[in-house]
Amino acid sequence: MGQIIDGKAVSAAVKAEVAEETAKLREEKGLKVGLAVVIVGNNPASRVYVNNKKKACEAVGFQSFEYALDENTTQEQLLDLVNVLNRDDRVNGILVQLPLPKHIDEKAVINAISPDKDVDAFHPINVGKIMIGEYSFLPCTPAGVMRLIESTGTDITGKQCVVIGRSNIVGKPQAMLLLQKNGTVTICHSKTKNLKEVCLGADILVVAIGRANFVTGDMIKEGAVVIDVGMNRLDNGKLCGDVEFESAEKKASFITPVPGGVGPMTIAMLMKNTLTAAKQQAGIE
Ligand code: GUN
């Protein structure tokens, strides 16, 4: 039976570190940390994420600035807001919640965010920095996954790491982070042949494909570390990951649950990036 990795506990530890450092910055340097969160339209899932980000800001002692814009906001209006936030000294980090309504070009918006305030690490400059290992911000979900793997005491060096999913937000940067920790990395996706065989070779398996219960126990090597990035809503309203937990748990040495695994880590790492941004902008780091 695999040991369950408690994402809530690990994320609480990260947030506690951030809160402690934030309080110290305020006391010793009079510095406040601020995050601006922009949401356009009424996507209910986005609304939940944005509320959780706001709550996390309060919990770690950040100022949060929320901009809830109407569904019909034009691209120009959104770009104008981003430019205002780029110049606002109270705002150390800017997060524009995705997806945006269809009439807005997401790339144009991401490219408009100052790379120094891009706490999602989505801007091409920050993506490029990850490739060469010279980053200040790591994308929140892959960074959270690394922290969860670390919490198991697993040394990634020389391990066979398989990432299922090749998104810009998770799969691709995840592969780079595992590579930087000296893993031997394979990226799989919907067109991969012999997926089961590839997965069976994985010492560390990170699944971010967005399909409910896609990876089953028979695809998992005995003793593997299994990290499930998926968050799917079933017809019965229940949340489930990309990994079929019951069968996978029997094979894995460590496994993340859904919910309560990777999810809480994403916000914790966002808080960490915002603190890093504030320190850099103040010339402290
Ligand atoms: N939508 C879903 N996940 C994310 C995220 O990590 N950042 C942003 N900006 N939007 C998202």
CATH topology identical between 30-116 and 140-263: yes
In this structure, the residues whose C-beta lies within 6 A of any atom of ligand 1 are: 95-98, 120, 140, 266
Residue 53 annotated as catalytic: yes
The H-or-E segment that residue 106 falls in is helix 106-112
> In the structure encoding, which two tokens stand for residue 230, read together?
């998926």
Taking each helix axis from N to C end, the angle separating 262-281 and 44-60, rounded to the nearest 10 degrees, works out to: 60
Contacts of 209 (CB under 8 A, 6+ apart): 164, 165, 189, 190, 230, 242
By DSSP bridging, strand 239-240 and strand 63-69 are: unpaired
Known binding residue 167? Answer is: yes
Q: What is the pLDDT of residue 285?
A: 75
- What tens-digit pLDDT sequence spans the chain (285 residues)? 899 999 999 999 999 999 999 999 999 999 999 999 999 999 999 999 999 999 999 999 999 999 999 999 999 999 999 999 999 999 999 999 999 999 999 999 999 999 999 999 999 999 999 999 999 999 999 999 999 999 999 999 999 999 999 999 999 999 999 999 999 999 999 999 999 999 999 999 999 999 999 999 999 999 999 999 999 999 999 999 999 999 999 999 999 999 999 999 999 999 999 999 999 999 997
The answer to whether residues 21 and 275 touch, using CB atoms and an 8 Å cutoff, is yes
Q: Which of 116, 118, 120, 203 is catalytic?
A: 120
Selecting among 97, 172, 242, 279, the annotated active-site residue is 97
Per-residue burial over 87-108, b if 16 or more Cβ lie within 10 Å, else e, is: eeeebbbbbbbbebbeebeeee
Whether 97 sits among the annotated catalytic residues: the reply is yes
**Predicted local confidence at residue 66, as pLDDT:** 97
pLDDT recorded at residue 1:
86
Upstream peptide bond of 259 is cis (omega within 30 degrees of 0)? yes
Q: What span, in angstroms and rounded, lies between the C-alpha atoms of 99 and 82?
A: 16
**Beta strand ranges found along 91-203 (DSSP E):** 93-96, 160-164, 184-188
Beta-bridge mates of residue 226: 205, 255
- pTM tops 0.85: yes
247's enclosing H/E stretch is: helix 245-249
Provide the pLDDT for residue 61. 98
* The CATH number of the domain covering residues in 30-116: 3.40.50.10860
Q: What does the alpha-carbon distance between residue 94 and residue 98 come to, in Å, rounded to a whole number?
A: 13
Q: Which CATH superfamily is domain 140-263 in?
A: NAD(P)-binding Rossmann-like Domain (3.40.50.720)
Domain positions in the chain? 30-116, 140-263
pLDDT at residue number 79: 98
Give the pLDDT score at 206: 99
Distance 152 CA to ligand 1 centre (A): 26
Q: Specify the pLDDT at position 258.
A: 98
Tell me, what amino acid is at 132? I
Distance 109 CA to ligand 1 centre (A): 13
